[in-house]
C-alpha cells in the first residue's frame, strides 16, 4: 500500500510541445495548461516538458522550475540555438596583423613603413571581416531551426523514445506543428493523452503555397520532396482521449483534414478552448490618451507573419508604426523600414505592453491566424484591429471592432487602411463584442 502511494506520487505529468524558443502565444497556452494540472494535482509538481528544440534547460512557472528535455542531443541542440538566436557578429576593426616591431626601425624609412603597414592592415581586416560574415551567414542559414521541419518525423520518434521511459501519469500534447504525431500510430495507452491543437501543420496544408513562394531556391529543392511524406504521416490515425482546439476554425480544419482520411478519429468529440489572456488586459480601463501610432505585436517573421508586408504598408501611407517584438528576421525587416517605423523590441513587462497597445490607434495583422492571441489582447484593451480575412478572423473581427482586408494586394491594403484610419470607433463596443465572442 505504501509502495503504491509512493509510485503514484512520483509519476510524471508529461507535456510535449513543438519547440520552446522565444516564448510566444502558444507557449503561454502551454504554461496555462500546466498551471491547470498543478491545481488538480496539489501534492506535487511532477511535471516534465519534452520538446523537439529549445534554448532552455528548464522554465520557471509560478516559482517551480520545470525541466525541459529535447529530442535533439544537447550538442546538436546547442548549435541550432546559437545560430538561430538573434545576436550580432562583433568583428574587430583595428586588429594589427603584422606588428610594427617587425619593421626595421630605421629613422629614414619609419614613416613609409608605418604608412604601408596601416594600408595592409586595413586591406587584410576588410577581407577577413567579409569572410567571417559570409561564413557566419551561411551557418545561420544551415542551422536555422526552421530547417528542422523536414526532420520532424525522426525527431518525433526520438522524442517519444525518451518519453516512454518515464513513469507516466498523464500526457498533454501542445501542438502547432508536428508533435501531435509523436505518439505511435493506433496505440492506446493506460494513461490519458490530451491534445491541445493550436493549429494543424499549415506549412504542408493551408499555408503550403505561401510558404513555397517565400522559400529560397535551395529551400524549395530540399523541402518539396518531403511534403507528400509529411502529409501522409500527419494524416495517420492516432488516439487521443481528449482533444481541445484553440478556435472554431482550428476545430473545423482538424475535422476536415483528419476525419475524412480516417474512419476512426479522436477529433469527432473535440472541444473549443480559447487561449486565456492575462487578467490585466481585461481589467485595464479604456485609454483616455489615444496617440497617433499603430502597433504590430508578433514575432518578426517574413515567412508567415507578413511583417515585411505591414512595414511596406506603413512606408506607403507614412504612418507611425511601433513594431513590438524581435527575432528572427529583425535585421532584414529593419532594412525595409522607413523613418516612421520604430522597432521597440521584445516587451516582457505586461503593463508596458498594455500601455503601448491601449494608447495606439489600432493593431495591424495581415497573417492567417488559427486564433491570434495578440488580437485578443487588443480587443480586450478596447483597441480596433486591421486584420486579414481568413481562418479564425471572423470569430473575432467584424465591422464593429475592425476592418478586414480581403487580399494582400498593396492597393487594396492602402484602401482598407485609409478606411480603418478615418473610421470612428466606439471602443466600449469593441470590448463588449469581444467578451460576447468568448462567452458563446
Domain that holds residue 209: 2-80+148-272
Give the CATH number, domain containing residue 205: 3.40.50
The pLDDT > 90 percentage for the chain reads 56
Helix H or strand E segment including 51: strand 47-54
Using one digit for the tens of pLDDT, what is the confidence trace for 114-132? 555 567 667 777 777 777 7
d(CA 176, CA 210): 17
223 plus 333 within the same structural domain = no
Co-location of 297 and 434 in the same domain: yes
Specify if 24 maps to a domain. yes
> Is 165 a member of any domain?
yes
Exposure string over 161-193, b if 16+ CB within 10 A, otherwise e = eebeebebbbbbbbbbbbbbbbbeeeeeeeeeb
pLDDT above 70 (res 100): no
Share of the chain above pLDDT 70, in %: 86
Verify that 340 and 240 share a domain, yes or no: no
Residues 180 and 235 in one domain: yes
Q: Of 246, 253, 126, give the one whose Cα is nearest residue 198.
A: 246
Shared domain for 297 and 205, answered yes or no, is no
The CATH number for 391's domain is 3.40.50.2000
pLDDT in tens, 212-265: 888 888 888 889 999 999 999 998 888 899 999 999 999 999 998 887 655 456
Whether 130 is in a domain gets the answer no
Task: Identify whether residues 35 and 182 lie together within a single domain.
Answer: yes
Q: Is 411 found in the same domain as 372?
A: yes
Model confidence at 436: pLDDT above 90:
no
With residue 152 as reference, give the H or E element that holds it: helix 152-163
The verdict on 362 and 386 lying in the same domain is yes
Give 197: exposed, middle or buried? Use CB within 10 Å, 0-12, 13-18, 19+: buried
Summarize the confidence of residues 38-61 as an average pLDDT: 88
Is 50 exceeded by the pLDDT of residue 65? yes
Same domain, 154 and 287: no
Q: What is the pLDDT of residue 114?
A: 52
Cα 385 to Cα 194, 392, 408, 416, distances in angstroms = 33, 14, 16, 11
Q: Which of 272, 296, 320 is the last residue of a domain?
A: 272
| Weakest-pLDDT range from 138-142, 215-219, 356-360 | 138-142
Last residue of a domain, one of 272, 301, 325: 272
Whether 152 and 237 map to the same domain: the answer is yes
**Same domain, residue pair 259 and 290:** no
pLDDT digits (tens, 9 = 90+) for 186-205: 888 999 999 999 999 988 99
96, pLDDT greater than 80: no
Note whether residue 204 is domain-resident: yes
Cα(274)–Cα(263) distance, rounded to whole angstroms?
A: 27
Q: What is the pLDDT of residue 86?
A: 60
Q: For helices 110-142 and 74-84, give the axis angle rounded to 10 degrees.
A: 120
- Domain count within the chain: 2
The pTM of this model reads: 0.85
User: Each residue of 290-326: pLDDT tens digit?
Assistant: 999 999 998 887 777 789 999 999 999 999 999 998 8
In this structure, is residue 100 part of a structural domain? no
Please give the mean pLDDT across all residues of the chain.
85
Domain boundary among 272, 293, 321: 272
What is the rounded average pLDDT of the residues 151-170?
94
Based on the fold, state whether residues 391 and 268 are members of the same structural domain: no
Amino acid at each position: 500500500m505504501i509502495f503504491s502511494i509512493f509510485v503514484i506520487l512520483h509519476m510524471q505529468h508529461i507535456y510535449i510541445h513543438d519547440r520552446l524558443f522565444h516564448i510566444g502565444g502558444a507557449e503561454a497556452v502551454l504554461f496555462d495548461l500546466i498551471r491547470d494540472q498543478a491545481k488538480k494535482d496539489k501534492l506535487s509538481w511532477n511535471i516534465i516538458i519534452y520538446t523537439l528544440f529549445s534554448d532552455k534547460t528548464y522554465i520557471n512557472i509560478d516559482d517551480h522550475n520545470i525541466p525541459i528535455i529535447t529530442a535533439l542531443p544537447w550538442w546538436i541542440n546547442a548549435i541550432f540555438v546559437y545560430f538561430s538566436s538573434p545576436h550580432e557578429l562583433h568583428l574587430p576593426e583595428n586588429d594589427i596583423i603584422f606588428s610594427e616591431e617587425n619593421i626595421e626601425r630605421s629613422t629614414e624609412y619609419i614613416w613609409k613603413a608605418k604608412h604601408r603597414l596601416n594600408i595592409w592592415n586595413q586591406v587584410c581586416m576588410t577581407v577577413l571581416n567579409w569572410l567571417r560574415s559570409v561564413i557566419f551567414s551561411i551557418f545561420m542559414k544551415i542551422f536555422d531551426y526552421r530547417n528542422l521541419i523536414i526532420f520532424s518525423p525522426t525527431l518525433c520518434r526520438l522524442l517519444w523514445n525518451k518519453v516512454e521511459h518515464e513513469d507516466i501519469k498523464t500526457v498533454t500534447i501542445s501542438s502547432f506543428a508536428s508533435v501531435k504525431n509523436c505518439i505511435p500510430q493506433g496505440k492506446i495507452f493506460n494513461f490519458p493523452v490530451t491534445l491541445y491543437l493550436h493549429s494543424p501543420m499549415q506549412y504542408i496544408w493551408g499555408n503550403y503555397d505561401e510558404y513555397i513562394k517565400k522559400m529560397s531556391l535551395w529551400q524549395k529543392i530540399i523541402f518539396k520532396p518531403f511534403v507528400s511524406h509529411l502529409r501522409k504521416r500527419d494524416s495517420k490515425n492516432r488516439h487521443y482521449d481528449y482533444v481541445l482546439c484553440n478556435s472554431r476554425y482550428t476545430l473545423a480544419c482538424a475535422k476536415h483534414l483528419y476525419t475524412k482520411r480516417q474512419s476512426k478519429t479522436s477529433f469527432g468529440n473535440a472541444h473549443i478552448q480559447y487561449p486565456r489572456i492575462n487578467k490585466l488586459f481585461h481589467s485595464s480601463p479604456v485609454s483616455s490618451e489615444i496617440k497617433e501610432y499603430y502597433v504590430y505585436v508578433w514575432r518578426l517573421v517574413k515567412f508567415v507573419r507578413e511583417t515585411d508586408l505591414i512595414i511596406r504598408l506603413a512606408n506607403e501611407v507614412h504612418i507611425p508604426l511601433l513594431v513590438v517584438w524581435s527575432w528572427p528576421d529583425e535585421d532584414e525587416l529593419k532594412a525595409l523600414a522607413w523613418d516612421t517605423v520604430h522597432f521597440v523590441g521584445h516587451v516582457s513587462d505586461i503593463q508596458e505592453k498594455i500601455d503601448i497597445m491601449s494608447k495606439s490607434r489600432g493593431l495591424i495583422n495581415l497573417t492567417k491566424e488559427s486564433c491570434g492571441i495578440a488580437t485578443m489582447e487588443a480587443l480586450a484593451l478596447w483597441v480596433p484591429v486591421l486584420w486579414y480575412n481568413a481562418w479564425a478572423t471572423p470569430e473575432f473581427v467584424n465591422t464593429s471592432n475592425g476592418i478586414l482586408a480581403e487580399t494582400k494586394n498593396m492597393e487594396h491594403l492602402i484602401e482598407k487602411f485609409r478606411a480603418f484610419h478615418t473610421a470612428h470607433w466606439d471602443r466600449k463596443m469593441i470590448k463588449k463584442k469581444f467578451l460576447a465572442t468568448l462567452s458563446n
